């Protein structure tokens, strides 16, 4: 038995090495996991029917004019009778907008009293007023009163680290997913290109997603024709 012991040890080491190498190979070959629609729709701010077949995830900035236009379009689509659309909103305040982060925090402070979407809609509706105001906090407080919040609690919640952290967490998530501008939209987890983020483009994406098709519009390729050669005239 002792004579065969070295061979048994060598064989055992060989099997372990092979098994480890095979496991590493498989780990490299396995595709990276992707987020499902259920994970996307688990965001804190979701509006629309749970049974909706199309989910739009938006990274938005309350001081961004195109985001205000997009908010109006998406709300209109959400309210259509068929209940086909669900919207997930995530904060992505841009540094170029002086009051965008404060507005995002105000919306999160409203969330603590169950009024996020009311504040979301009002901030976009009144964007032209507060974005140019010399006293933004006063306007936000007045908006809180307009939508029925406890204003004193609202003021305290705006400086609550847990409330502020929710804004920062959304921003970090957006950065990790390559978001650099607003609005950025994912339709059923597919990123729309900037050239398609306009009312016709978004409506087309929704209709495609409803049919189970790729929401990203494919560019139309126009075939080019080579002109027939012409003979030069002889002087």
Residue 49 lies inside a defined structural domain of this protein: yes
Domain encompassing residue 119:
37-210
What separation in angstroms does the CA of 204 have from each of 34, 123, 183, 213?
24, 27, 17, 11
Give the single-character DSSP code of 195. G
The model carries a pTM of 0.76
Query: 210: helix, coil or strand?
Result: helix
Q: Does 19 map to a domain?
A: no
**134 in helix, strand or coil?**
coil
Is position 17 within any domain?
A: no
Domain count, the chain: 1
Residue 235 in domain? no
The two three-digit tokens of residue 77, written as one number: 């689509």
Q: What is the spatial distance between Cα 125 and Cα 119, in angstroms, rounded to a whole number?
A: 10
Instruction: Please work out, in degrees rounded to the nearest 5, the angle formed at the alpha carbon of residue 134 by the alpha carbons of 133 and 137.
Output: 80
Q: Check if the beta carbon of residue 216 is closer than 8 Å to that of residue 196.
A: yes
Q: What integer pLDDT is reported at residue 83 of this predicted model? A: 74
Q: Which CATH number fits the domain that encloses residue 96?
A: 3.40.30.10
What the block records as the tokens of 221 is 């390729």
Residue 107 lies in a domain: yes
The predicted pLDDT at position 43 comes to 63
Say if CB 167 and CB 104 are below 8 A apart.
yes
pLDDT at position 35: 39
**In this structure, are strands 54-60 and 45-48 parallel, antiparallel, or unpaired?**
unpaired
* pLDDT tens, per residue, the chain with 235 residues: 445 444 444 444 444 443 433 333 333 333 333 334 444 444 689 998 888 999 999 999 999 999 999 999 999 998 887 778 999 999 999 999 999 999 999 999 999 999 999 999 999 999 999 999 999 999 999 999 999 999 999 999 999 999 999 999 999 999 999 999 999 999 999 999 999 999 999 999 999 999 999 999 876 444 454 444 444 443 3
Measure the CA–CA gap between 218 and 78, rounded to whole angstroms.
25
In a domain, 13, yes or no: no
Map residue 27 onto helix, strand or coil: helix
Whole-angstrom distance, CA of residue 190 vs CA of residue 216? 8
- Give phi and psi for 75, each to the nearest 5: -65, -40
Q: In the chain, what is the straight-line distance between the N-terminal and C-terminal CA atoms, in Å? A: 105
Q: What are phi and psi of 136, to 5 degrees?
A: -60, -45
Strands 190-191 and 54-60: unpaired
Residue 36's pLDDT is 41
Residue 18 maps to a domain: no
Q: What secondary structure letter does DSSP report for 4?
A: T
Domain presence at residue 59:
yes
């Amino acid at each position: 038995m002792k004579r065969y012991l070295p061979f048994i040890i060598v064989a055992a080491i060989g099997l372990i090495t092979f098994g480890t190498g095979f496991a590493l190979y498989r780990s490299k070959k396995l595709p990276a996991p992707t987020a499902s629609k259920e994970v996307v729709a688990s965001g804190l701010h979701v509006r629309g029917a749970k049974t909706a077949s199309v989910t739009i995830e938006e990274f938005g900035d309350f001081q961004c004019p195109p985001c205000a236009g997009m908010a109006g379009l998406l709300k209109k689509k959400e309210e259509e009778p068929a209940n086909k659309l669900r919207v997930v909103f995530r904060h992505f305040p841009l540094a170029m907008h002086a009051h965008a982060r404060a507005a995002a925090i105000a919306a999160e402070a409203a969330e603590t009293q169950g009024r996020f979407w009311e504040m979301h809609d009002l901030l976009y509706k009144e964007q032209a007023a507060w974005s140019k105001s010399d006293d933004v906090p006063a306007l936000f407080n007045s908006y809180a009163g307009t939508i029925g919040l406890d204003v004193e609690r609202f003021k305290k919640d705006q400086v609550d680290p847990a409330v502020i952290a929710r804004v920062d967490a959304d921003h970090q998530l957006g950065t990790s997913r390559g978001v650099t501008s607003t609005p950025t939209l994912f339709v059923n987890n597919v990123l729309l290109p900037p050239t398609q983020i306009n009312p016709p483009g978004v409506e087309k994406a929704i209709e495609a997603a409803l049919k189970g098709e790729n929401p990203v519009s494919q560019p139309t390729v126009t075939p080019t024709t080579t002109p027939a050669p012409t003979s030069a005239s002889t002087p």
